[in-house]
Structure 1
Amino acid sequence: MILIENPEALRNCELIHEHPEAANTPFYAGWEIWANWAGITGLPLQSGYSFDRAELTAIAAKQGLGVALGREWLVREALQKKELIVPFNLVFPAPQTYYVVSTHKGIQRPKVRLFHDWILEKARHSKPYGNVVL
């Protein structure tokens, strides 16, 4: 495991990309957005490994194939077990948004209403997650 002491050191690392097949963006878009947010230039954005699922991206990082962006909630256990590390404390706000959707008729069903109320209550009391460099 190579310890990266600052974000600029990523210029010399193999980047691991997550790129869902259905995404209408370049495979390196996640790293490009992160680099712009972090103010880092010169990353080898168009090289490295690319996987279509976040889980595979995290596994590749665990196997030492390079450096990945990871969803904090998805890699929490690996971080606790020290299988992955966060080399510097730059947590990028997660751009994903989730919605609870139902028909007017569906929300009147007790089980649907119960789930709706439960999930919204959980969301209200949870901290926002971000993406971290692994």
Structure 2
Amino acid sequence: MSPLPPLKALQAFDALGRTGSLALAAADLGVTPGAISQQLRKLEAAVSARLVEQAGRGLRLTPLGATYHAQIRQGFAAFAEAATILRDATADVIVLSCLTTVLGKWIGRRMRDWTELDAQARVSLVGSDAEPDLSQGAVDLRIYYGGRLHPPHRAELFVDHIVPVCAPALIEGHRLSGPEDILRFPLLHIVWDPRFGANPGWTEWGRLIGARPPPANLTYGLSGSAIDAALAGQGFVLGQLAFIGPELETGKLVIPFDLRLPLPEPYYLAWNPDSLRKTGARAFHRWLLGEGRAQGLVSATPL
């Protein structure tokens, strides 16, 4: 027996979750509302859980169903992204794959600078923590962290640094006389995926100032999520300078004491040399390396 429910049943459930209506879900998939209802019953039987309930004349997701839908939506989104990668690989589109937070908090924010340099080159940005096989041709360039991978064509981009930052409102009305005062506030901890090795955290920063931080208040698996929590005033985070530049410039985040630690390893750019034949690819490759060098200087230079 397959551990996965029938695909058609999952598609029907996803359509209902996306559209919020039995009729709209049916129209989305090009079937009748009765067919959607039948697939929903099959899905509930397969997972032995009640996922939908009556809402007037229609259906809506139960709380458990909403939780389940949020998870399978990620799967269907991954299918769509995979189709996009394959389509772009066969076209004259430069496909850059990045770690999720690197895309959202670093290079994605700089792409306007690139498009102003070359408005003709077509670039597709893909955020993924899974390492692609560049030799297959579906991805042209990859930004990744650490020296555990040894692709034949790679170059160091930059070594990033971390520094304690918070939203100004968190410390408003509080007098911070020294860096150890930071430890009196909620501390947001980041724990990386073990594949990337151990990241320096509050324990290491505490050693830098000769103090012992309290246990973790909140722990995040993504640096970007922890930074967003700090922006919301939830506590101090050891933010990577590459990921918080705009927030520091606008004052949304502040650095009470500029005591920073370098990450153990650099970020790298890897590429498939055959892909550099695409329109604008060599220039894009050079631009990425230049952005990396510039970021390395910013991250290492005290404010």
Contact 1:18–1:52 (Cα < 8 Å) also in 2: yes
One-letter amino acid of the counterpart of residue 15, structure 1:
L
Higher strand proportion, which one? 2
Equivalences for 1:87-126 in 2 at 5 Å? 87-103=256-272, 105-106=274-275, 109=277, 111-126=280-295
Unaligned runs of at least 5 residues, structure 2: 1-169
Partner of 1:88, secondary structure, is coil
- Structure 1 segments (4+ residues) deviating >6 Å: none
Q: How does 1:1-134 map to 2 (within 5 A)?
A: 1-2=170-171, 3=174, 4-20=176-192, 22-23=193-194, 29-36=200-207, 38-44=208-214, 46-103=215-272, 105-106=274-275, 109=277, 111-126=280-295, 127-129=297-299
Deviations, residues 68-109 of structure 1 (Å, cap 9, x unaligned): 1112232222223322211112132344412222345445x3
Per-residue CA deviations over 1:2-40 (Å, capped at 9, x if unaligned) read 2433111133222101123x23667x952122223x233
Q: Which has the higher helix share?
A: 2
Higher relative contact order (CA 8 A, sep 6+): 1
Instruction: Judge conservation of contact 2:189–2:219 (CA < 8 Å) in 1.
Output: yes
Secondary structure class of the residue paired with 1:101: strand
Give the conservation status (yes or no) of the 8 Å contact 2:189–2:217: yes
Larger CA Rg, structure 1 vs 2: 2
- Give the TM-score normalised by the residue count of structure 2: 0.36
> How many residues are aligned here?
126
Aligned match of 2:165? none
* TM-score (norm. length: structure 1): 0.71
C-alpha spacing 1:90/1:57, structure 2 compared with 1 (3 Å):
same
